Amino acid sequence: METRLRIAVQKSGRLSEKSLKIIRDCGIKFGSDSRLLKEEADNFPIEFLYLRDDDIPRYVYDGVADIGIVGRNEFDEQDLPLEELKDLGFSKCRLSIAVPEGFPYHGLKSLEGLRIATSYPGILAKKLKEATVDARIYEISGSVEITPAIGVADAICDLVSTGATLASNGLREVEAIYYSTAIMIGHPGLSMEKRAILDRLMLRVDAVMRADDYKYIMFNLPKEHLDQAAAIIGGMKSPTVTPLLDESWCAVQSVVQESRFWDVLEQLKALGAQGILVTAIEKMAD
């Protein structure tokens, strides 16, 4: 029987969509029936388990799944001895303190002796301890935002992306205490066969993620400015240079980090670059 790496992914929601997208971008083919709880890929030795986000760390810890994609918040809250394989960078959110409108908040010390409702008591307790704040933590599994209105808590600590839900419940975000992204986690005791499959998967994930950080750029440039352009661009090793019919000009191809792109573009234009063409990169490996 073929050895397969078993990966746990959130069954539905934004984290699920982005998790499955990055796997598809790795060239791995599988179905898209949301009713399934388990399925195998068609062209790669991997099997999917579709679970609730907060169940994923425990399934990996128990060895039911070999790896999983989960929010860092769940990983840190459950604090299980698992490997963090990679920060995937998507599904960004923050864990924030929110208080009713009109509450005089002046830092975590303002919560001294108060009741705070949260679904993340472990993370909150750690932050309060660091700030030497003594408050009562009420663990709530859902609908944390309503607790101040019904008299259960004086403040809340909850995940925030836009803050719209807080506002609709008469709350305002006053301090972010923790930031989360999606991460890939793994069981530390994988067999050699499964570790080999994981290495193959990570090679693909790295190539997909690396491509997202770069743009492929092509342009024509007067040869006299080639050294200056090369210094501006940087690139994997050095730009690719092709002679043009006009011997005083050349065509240049290179890779530029997304974060530097506009600065690089302005500097190249100042050197006389023309016909600048920029394209996305689908995959990129060292």
pLDDT for 74 equals 94
Contact 111, 196 (CB under 8 A): no
Judge whether residue 191 has pLDDT over 90: yes
Judge whether residue 119 has pLDDT over 70: yes
pLDDT for 236 equals 62
Mean of pLDDT values over 162-171: 86
Residue ranges of E strands in the chain: 5-10, 38-40, 46-51, 67-71, 83-87, 93-100, 115-118, 136-139, 155-160, 171-180, 182-186, 214-222, 240-243, 249-257, 274-280
Q: Which two tokens stand for residue 42?
A: 């068609």
Judge whether residue 161 has pLDDT over 80: no
Query: How far, in Å, are 111, 116, 124, 126, 193 from residue 134 at the CA level?
Result: 8, 11, 11, 11, 49
The HSE-up count of residue 85 (CA atoms within 13 Å, CB side) is: 22
User: In this predicted model, what pLDDT tens digit does every residue of 92-101 receive, in sequence order?
Assistant: 999 999 999 9
Mean of pLDDT values over 171-178: 95
Judge whether residue 239 has pLDDT over 80: yes
Query: Among 20-24, 99-103, 120-124, 161-165, whose mean pLDDT is lowest?
Result: 161-165
What is the distance between the alpha carbons of residues 63 and 145, in angstroms, rounded to a whole number?
A: 35
Mean of pLDDT values over 250-270: 92
Considering the chain, what is the average pLDDT of its residues?
A: 92
Judge whether residue 106 has pLDDT over 80: yes
Mean of pLDDT values over 190-216: 93
What is the distance between the alpha carbons of residues 263 and 232, in angstroms, rounded to a whole number?
A: 9
Judge whether residue 121 has pLDDT over 80: yes
Judge whether residue 164 has pLDDT over 90: no
More confident residue, 35 or 18: 18
Judge whether residue 28 has pLDDT over 70: yes
Q: Which two tokens stand for residue 151?
A: 């008299």
Q: Which two tokens stand for residue 44?
A: 């790669």
Q: How confident is the model at residue 34 (pLDDT cuts 50, 70, 90)?
A: low
Mean of pLDDT values over 25-47: 88
Mean of pLDDT values over 10-30: 92
CA 251 to chain centre: 36
Judge whether residue 235 has pLDDT over 80: no
Q: Which residue has the tokens 């920060």?
A: 87
pLDDT for 143 equals 87
User: In this predicted model, what pLDDT tens digit does every residue of 55-79 receive, in sequence order?
Assistant: 999 999 999 999 999 999 999 999 9
* Domains of the chain, earliest start first: 5-89+182-211 (3.40.190.10), 93-180 (3.40.190.10), 214-280 (3.30.70.120)
Contact 120, 71 (CB under 8 A): no
Q: Which residue has the tokens 């060239």?
A: 27
Query: How far, in Å, are 10, 98, 117, 176, 208 from residue 69 at the CA level?
Result: 7, 28, 26, 23, 16
Helix (H) or strand (E) holding 171: strand 171-180
